[in-house]
């Protein structure tokens, strides 16, 4: 389903899903892990908290792709 056809609730859930996915796979005890401190992630979370879901989703998708992660499938609406 294209983002333009998704409800606000679905966009909010997708935004949080991507942030949670990033946190799960990037939080580690290794020194080179940025996890919660990643500036793009922080900005995306702020966008999502402010209701700018599409911006947050776009930022998280780019961040995950740049870090060579396969994007998770969108969860149930």
pLDDT at 35: 65
Q: Per-residue pLDDT tens for 26-74? A: 876 555 566 678 999 999 999 999 999 999 999 999 999 999 999 999 8
Instruction: Give the pLDDT confidence of 19-29 residue by residue, as tens digits.
Output: 999 999 887 65
> How far is 21 from 19, CA to CA, in rounded Å?
5
Whose tokens are 């947050």? That residue is 56
Could you give the count of Cα atoms lying within 13 Å of 36 in the half-sphere of its Cβ? 2
| pTM listed for this prediction | 0.82
Rg of the chain, C-alpha, whole Å: 12
Q: Is the pLDDT of residue 77 over 50?
A: no
Among 24, 8, 40, residue whose Cα is nearest residue 72: 24
Task: Tell me how far apart the terminal alpha carbons of the chain are, to the nearest angstrom.
Answer: 10
């Amino acid at each position: 389903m294209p983002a333009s056809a998704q409800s606000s609730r679905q966009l909010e859930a997708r935004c949080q899903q991507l942030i949670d996915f990033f946190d799960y796979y990037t939080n580690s005890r290794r020194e080179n892990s940025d996890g919660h401190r990643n500036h793009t992630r922080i900005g995306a979370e702020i966008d999502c908290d402010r209701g700018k879901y599409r911006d947050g989703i776009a930022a998280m998708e780019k961040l995950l792709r740049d870090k060579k992660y396969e994007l998770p499938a969108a969860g149930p609406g």
